[in-house]
Amino acid sequence: MKIKYFILPLVLLLLAIPSCKTEVNYKGEITEPLLVVFADAVTNGFPKVTVSKSAFFLNKINREGTDTINYKPYLLADALVQYSVNNGEWISMTYDAKEESYLPDYKTASRLQPDDKLTVSVSHPDFPSTSASQLMPEKVDIDPVEVKVYDKINNKGDTFCEYHLTYHIYPSEDKTLVGRLSLQDSYLNDLPLMSNDILFQELNYDINNQNWREIIGTVFSFEEDELEDYREHLDFRMSEIPESGKDIVVVTRAPIAVVNDKVERKLKGVITNCYFYSAETYLYLNSMRKYKGTSTGMLGLEEKVQVYGNFSNGTIGCLTAKSYITYITMFKEE
Amino acid sequence: MLFTFSFLLLFGQRHTVNGYVSDASSGERLIGATVVDTVSGFGAVTNNSGFYSLTLPDGNVGLQCSYVGYAASQTRVFSLNSDTLVSFIISENTHLQEVTVVGHQSVSSPNSVQMSAIEVPVQQIKGIPALAGEVDVIKALQLLPGVQSGSEGSAGLYVRGGGPDENLIMLDGVPLYNVNHMMGFFSVFNADAVKNVTLYKGNFPARFGSRLSSVVDVRQNDGNRVGWHGNVSIGLISAKINAEGPIPWNKQQLEQLRRGEKIERNATTFNISARRTYFDLFTAPIVGIISRRETNGDLNLRAGYYFYDFNAKITHLFTDDDKLSLTVYAGDDDIYFRVNHEGESENKTDRKTNAKFAWHWGNLLTALNWEHRFSPRIFSNTQLSYTRYRYDLRQQMAVTSSQNAMSATMNEQMEYRSFVGDLMLQTNFNFAPSPKHEMRWGANYIFHQFRPQVSALNFKVNGNQNIIDDDFSNIVNVDTTLTDGTINAHEASVYIEDTYTPWRWLKLNLGLRGSLYSVSGKTYPSFEPRVGIRALAMKDLSIKASYAYMSQYIHLLSNSSVSLPTDLWVPVTKNIVPMRSMQVAGGVSYNLLGQVELSVEGYYKKMLNLIEYKDGASFMGSTTGWEEKVCMGEGWSYGVEFLAQRTIGKVTGWIGYTWSRAWRLFNREDQQINYGKPFPAKYDREHDLSITVQWAVNKLVDLNATFVYGTGNRATLGTQVYYDPNTESEVAYVPERNNYLMPDYHRLDIGATFHYPLRRHPDMQSVWNVSVYNVYNNMNPFLLYSEDNVMYKVTLFPILPSVSYTFKF
């Protein structure tokens, strides 16, 4: 039972009984917009940079019918965006209207390698120039060691299976990295799913005699009506992994079959994603998680969270660097 | 011969006058009364037992007694040549004609070395117009300079830039951990039970320790020694009863009482007060009626909230040398919710639901106190006490599903508890060896017990599980208890202090307190020097300065600015070290025409090892891993306070103004807040003005008014918003913590009290009190938020009239 689910409504109820709401004039400083840069880089991939500007909170343009910012008017397509690798020459990035981001020329650019020092620089006439740097994380070996699937658990006609996955995490020289394991049940009948995303070919692994294959690339992207069941992720620090490595066991359960649009789909397997984040990337992710966890906008009940950023000269945003590995475990049909 | 003469001069020509100061109408002994020898100029102050001791040279002596809110006594002139018992009985001055008073009135008067302390007469507290008509001791203290109240309606105390957990609030010398009812809108102190309230904001005497920012010393009435009295009152939200009087042991004592005489020996008195809110007694049945009517009897709901306080004190005076008293306080807040429902579930089974929810939190305090006078110069006070705060949240639910001949029952029980308690033994001595020295020393030992969190969970399903509803289909039988464990801590301290008057114009208070705190295998020692200096520039004008070093070994984990019962007290650990503070203060104190005490004080306070919660950290009643969720840093505050206080005459009250700033800095590695840069503390309010006036128009009518004005509270505001493509969401950019000042806060409260003595029994009277909180309906902000590019404020209390009736007997 979450105590906070009782407390917060109770407090709000007590406050609401005699309270009144009235409009009030803002008496602080009306601040100017700031440059906002988010750059994402994946080891063995290419950087992608989104440039926009912020808005004063009392005159932002909202999406129609909502109180949430419409980001499109604030995108900046005329910035000078470049990146360099290991202090080498600057490589220009051009604005892609479809992606709404700045991308390199894939034909000529080289993929980012582990331990590369990536520097992203952005200039715009309306804002001070800014830059940020990150070391690209290495891809840490994690071996799926064991999968155990336990008897179905009957409960009023629904059947479940519980499976335990054990991964062996190998040590890394970069102790600042943070790993994140997340699981995703797969109910889809046909694999591969989206051909432009899938880089693996192996299917139908035998549960008791797996032949794992490392997957490099993006994870599956499902349509919204596809069935997915994301589990909570598990974070671990590479500084806590000894030289002999460490086994991590993840336990989860899922229904044997689910029905969507009157079509029954059986559990096919589980997808394991393991990300490795740089220290600053993890700070950003953690601060954003806390930001989303605080209550909405009411000044005075909870402290507002300052989201982490690493761009210079007062620019909002973060250059995030990560690597990842994806494993697919397919359950053999009985 | 010369040596003998000198010896006689040194040791043989002084004696001690000692005694008690009591109230004429009730016989209550008065704390902090001043007894002065008008011949030599030396004086003494009564201790918490109303006892004073003054060693003077032999010869002519003229003793006069004065006390805040009372008329000075007649001067007693006599020749001192032996230890002499001289007790005073003085009368309250509230409804008398204007008088000219000589002598020294309050704890921080020009003659006293004490500064940064304010004593507020209980009569003044009762005269201040209050929220919903509930007279509140803590709310009265919030009107004093140097004290902030936090958010609107809150009972928190933020003293000279310190937090709400840095105040040692005591009832008869025993600490109370949570002094809030109803989320902090009211305090636990029933003014009918209170005799004396003193607030120390700095210059802490060595007998006080364990908190950084303030000491609030609340003393209960012993009980009327002359006759049986009391009152019954009913107000907007609560009803109260108070009764006090002597307990005669034999016919002789009974006859003395009938004659209106005070019993001097083997006298027992009692004082009992109780208070309870009552609106739940009406709302709970009404909620039940409405729920049954709206659902054709299917749903029966009963819900409500109340709080109560119970104070009791029994005192037995064996002789003037020995007094024994027992103090008890119990208070709780209670939220309850009961529902019975019958109906059909989604899978067409008949379902009956019985659910109970109960949440209560509160304090229990008990103290056994023995006062003993060893000699005219040595007085002791020994106390054994117990105090605890706990909250307990329970939920019970039973759901029975039935279909045809089959049935199944799901039982759920959840309990969530937390507890903090102290067992304390302390002893204190007063010793007046000479006119120039007044010494105190003492020791205490406290056994602390913390049980921050205990969760018990029990789920059980009986019967045919196939007909259990979908809602409970995933339930697995569980019977488990989770706990953070019990933490025991030991605290021991000793102190000594001496008020030394080398010359009449110079008075020094030198004190040293040593303490040890032991918890979880770790021991923290502390040595805390205390220094106070008073230089009398001229009669009734003095210049004062002080230094105090304080340590605090416990923290309050609290998630928000609203006081919640789930706020948890935890002790220091190996990683979270004790908080420390160092405060220097200087000022001038002047007694204007014997009527008004004026003081101007400046202070600077530095605080170390403060804890603040990391961004996004939430406690909400769980201490699991709390050390990982906090940052340690430092704070500092400074300011100037002005106070003009009048406690006698037909018009009483005070004007207090404070200019102050308070800052925080958290820049340790991995423990940064606000990017490691200094930021204003949450209740950093630069200007604060309070004016409170009570006018005794005549014996039948009192009028009162209070006006407060202050800089608005601080809040953290995201002034820019932006789009984060990683999360596809709008994010507020926060440039600095506590960067926004809410609109200034101001409010006027007025009240009137009408006394109607009964014709046949003039000592009985009906009293009506009418008051209006926030007379001109200023919409002070409690919360701010923005919506559709417009900023709104939520106001908690608009204009609020109230009325109460009291019958006094």
Q: B705 with B129: CB under 8 angstroms?
A: yes
pLDDT at residue B566 in the model: 67
Q: Which amino acid is at A114?
A: P
B402 sits in which H/E element: strand B378-403
- Of A21, A101, A326, which is closest to residue A198 (Cα–Cα)? A326
Q: Measured between beta carbons, which residues in chain A are less than 8 angstroms from residue B737? A: 303-304, 306
B788 touches chain A (CB under 8 A): yes
- Of B309, B276, B333, B311, which is closest to residue B188 (Cα–Cα)? B309
Q: What is the mean pLDDT of residues B515-530?
A: 95
Domain A29-136 has CATH 2.60.40: yes
Q: A26 with A57: CB under 8 angstroms?
A: no
Grade residue B469 by pLDDT with cuts at 50, 70 and 90.
low
User: Which of B242-256, B499-513, B762-776 is predicted with the least confidence, judged by mean pLDDT?
Assistant: B242-256
For residue A227, pLDDT over 70 is answered with no
Which is more confident, A63 or B373?
Answer: B373
Which of the given ranges, A173-177, A204-208, B385-389, B433-437, has the highest pLDDT on average?
Answer: B385-389
The pairing of beta strand B59-66 with beta strand B174-175: unpaired
Q: B543 with B588: CB under 8 angstroms?
A: yes
For residue A192, say if its preceding peptide bond is cis, omega within 30 degrees of 0. Answer: yes
Same domain? For B34 and B176 the reply is: no
Task: List pLDDT tens digits, range A32-52.
Answer: 999 999 999 999 899 999 999
Same domain? For B126 and B61 the reply is: no
Nearest to B721 among A23, A40, A69 (CB): A69
pLDDT at residue B76 in the model: 85
Chain A: nearest CA to B565, how far in angstroms? 9
Supply A50's token pair.
């989104």
For residue B727, pLDDT over 90 is answered with no
For residue B78, pLDDT over 80 is answered with yes
Q: B685 with B712: CB under 8 angstroms?
A: yes
Question: For B184, left (φ over 0), alpha (ψ -120 to 50), or beta?
Answer: left
User: Which of A229-233, B325-329, B506-510 is predicted with the least confidence, judged by mean pLDDT?
Assistant: A229-233
Instruction: Give the domain CATH number at B771.
Output: 2.40.170.20
Grade residue B3 by pLDDT with cuts at 50, 70 and 90.
very low
Q: What is the mean pLDDT of residues B727-739?
A: 89
Nearest to A301 among B561, B740, B741 (CB): B561
Alpha-carbon distance of A244 to B61, in angstroms, equals 88
B721 vs A54: CB contact, 8 Å cut-off?
A: yes
Nearest to B718 among A22, A101, A304 (CB): A304
Grade residue A224 by pLDDT with cuts at 50, 70 and 90.
very low
Alpha-carbon distance of B316 to B334, in angstroms, equals 34
> To the nearest whole percent, how much of chain B has pLDDT over 90?
40
Q: Measured between beta carbons, which residues in chain B are less than 8 angstroms from residue A7? A: 564, 566, 620-621
For residue A67, pLDDT over 90 is answered with no
| Stretch 443-462 of chain B: residues touching chain A, C-beta under 8 Å | 457
Q: Which residues pair with B330 in a beta bridge?
A: B310, B364
- Of B471, B231, B511, B488, which is closest to residue B347 (Cα–Cα)? B471
Same domain? For B40 and B145 the reply is: no
Alpha-carbon distance of A254 to A257, in angstroms, equals 8
pLDDT at residue B805 in the model: 93
Count CB atoms within 10 A of the CB of residue B273. 24
Same domain? For B514 and B653 the reply is: yes
Q: Measured between beta carbons, which residues in chain B are less than 8 angstroms from residue A158? A: 473
Q: Look at residue B725 and tell me if it is in a domain.
A: no
Grade residue B800 by pLDDT with cuts at 50, 70 and 90.
confident
Q: B91 with B70: CB under 8 angstroms?
A: yes
A156 vs B468: CB contact, 8 Å cut-off?
A: yes
**CA-CA distances (angstroms) from residue B187 to B130, B156, B169, B190, B397?**
12, 9, 11, 8, 33
Chain A: nearest CA to B717, how far in angstroms? 7
B781 vs A24: CB contact, 8 Å cut-off?
A: yes
Same domain? For B666 and B749 the reply is: yes
Please report how many Cα atoms fall inside a 13 Å half-sphere around the Cα of residue B397, on the Cβ side.
Answer: 15
For residue B394, pLDDT over 80 is answered with yes
Task: List pLDDT tens digits, range B93-149.
Answer: 654 444 444 334 566 677 787 888 888 888 888 888 877 778 888 889 999 999 988
Q: B228 with B245: CB under 8 angstroms?
A: yes
| Stretch 173-212 of chain B: residues touching chain A, C-beta under 8 Å | 182-183
Q: Which amino acid is at A77?
A: A
Q: What is the mean pLDDT of residues B50-68?
A: 88
Q: Measured between beta carbons, which residues in chain A are less than 8 angstroms from residue B800? A: 18
Q: Where are the domains of chain A?
A: 29-136, 142-277+324-330
pLDDT at residue A98 in the model: 93
Chain A: nearest CA to B236, how far in angstroms? 14
Residue in A with minimal Cα distance to B789: A58
B717 vs A304: CB contact, 8 Å cut-off?
A: yes
Task: List pLDDT tens digits, range A1-27.
Answer: 344 444 444 544 444 445 578 888 888
Which of the given ranges, A174-188, B72-86, B494-508, has the highest pLDDT on average?
Answer: B494-508
Task: List pLDDT tens digits, range A309-334.
Answer: 999 999 999 999 999 887 776 665 54
Q: What total number of domains does chain B contain? A: 2
Alpha-carbon distance of B332 to B352, in angstroms, equals 32
Q: Burial, B718: exposed, middle or buried (Cβ in 10 Å; 0-12, 13-18, 19+)?
A: buried
Which is more confident, A128 or B556?
Answer: A128
Query: Mean pLDDT of all residues in chain B?
Result: 85
Please enumerate in sequence order all residues whose Cβ is within 8 A of that of B11, keeping only pairs 6 or more positions apart, or say none: none
Task: List pLDDT tens digits, range B284-315.
Answer: 788 888 888 887 777 788 888 999 999 999 99
Range of the domain at B405: 117-711+742-808
Task: List pLDDT tens digits, range B360-385.
Answer: 899 999 999 999 999 888 999 999 99
Alpha-carbon distance of B491 to B73, in angstroms, equals 43
Q: Measured between beta carbons, which residues in chain B are less than 8 angstroms from residue A52? A: 722-723
Residue with tokens 């959840």, as numbered in its chain: B414
Which is more confident, B483 or A57?
Answer: A57
pLDDT at residue B9 in the model: 46
Chain B: nearest CA to A115, how far in angstroms? 23
Grade residue B278 by pLDDT with cuts at 50, 70 and 90.
confident
Same domain? For B71 and B126 the reply is: no
Same domain? For B491 and B529 the reply is: yes
Which of the given ranges, B23-27, B439-443, B460-464, B786-790, has the highest pLDDT on average?
Answer: B439-443
A155 vs B474: CB contact, 8 Å cut-off?
A: yes
Task: List pLDDT tens digits, range B164-200.
Answer: 889 999 999 999 998 888 877 788 998 888 988 999 9
Query: Mean pLDDT of all residues in chain A?
Result: 75
Q: Measured between beta carbons, which residues in chain A are less than 8 angstroms from residue B335? A: 10
Q: Which residues pair with B465 in a beta bridge?
A: none
Cα Dmax for chain B: 115
Indicate which of A303, A312, A315, A316 best probes the interface with B, i.e. most B CBs within 10 Å of its own CB. Answer: A303
B342-381 burial, b at 16+ Cβ within 10 Å, e below that, comes to eeebebebebebbbbbebbbbbbbbbebebbbeebbbbbb
User: Which of A199-208, B150-159, B255-264 is predicted with the least confidence, judged by mean pLDDT?
Assistant: A199-208
Q: What is the mean pLDDT of residues A251-261?
A: 70
Q: What is the mean pLDDT of residues B743-752?
A: 92
Chain B: nearest CA to A3, how far in angstroms? 7
Same domain? For B378 and B256 the reply is: yes
pLDDT at residue B226 in the model: 78
Q: Measured between beta carbons, which residues in chain A are less than 8 angstroms from residue B466? A: 156
Domain finish residue from B50, B74, B90: B90
Nearest to A67 among B782, B788, B793 (CB): B788
Nearest to B473 among A22, A28, A156 (CB): A156
Supply A29's token pair.
């400083």
Chain A: nearest CA to B797, how far in angstroms? 6
B721 vs A60: CB contact, 8 Å cut-off?
A: yes
pLDDT at residue A159 in the model: 66
Same domain? For B419 and B275 the reply is: yes
The pairing of beta strand A35-42 with beta strand A319-330: parallel
Task: List pLDDT tens digits, range B556-601.
Answer: 877 655 556 667 788 898 888 999 999 999 999 998 887 898 999 9
Which of the given ranges, B67-81, B276-290, B487-501, has the highest pLDDT on average?
Answer: B487-501
For residue B411, pLDDT over 90 is answered with no
Start-to-end CA distance of chain B, whole Å, equals 66
Residue in B with minimal Cα distance to A30: B719
Instruction: Give the domain CATH number at B22.
Output: 2.60.40.1120
Same domain? For B160 and B212 the reply is: yes
User: Which of A180-189, A211-220, B552-561, B714-723 is predicted with the least confidence, judged by mean pLDDT?
Assistant: A211-220
Grade residue A183 by pLDDT with cuts at 50, 70 and 90.
confident
Q: Measured between beta carbons, which residues in chain A are less than 8 angstroms from residue B153? A: none
Alpha helices in chain A (DSSP H): 3-16, 279-293
Which is more confident, A83 or B148?
Answer: A83
Start-to-end CA distance of chain A, whole Å, equals 38
Alpha-carbon distance of B655 to B158, in angstroms, equals 19
pLDDT at residue B454 in the model: 65
Q: What is the mean pLDDT of residues B615-643?
A: 77
Same domain? For B358 and B262 the reply is: yes
Q: What is the mean pLDDT of residues B613-631?
A: 65
Same domain? For B452 and B553 the reply is: yes
Q: A48 with A103: CB under 8 angstroms?
A: yes
Q: A267 with A252: CB under 8 angstroms?
A: no
pLDDT at residue A222 in the model: 30
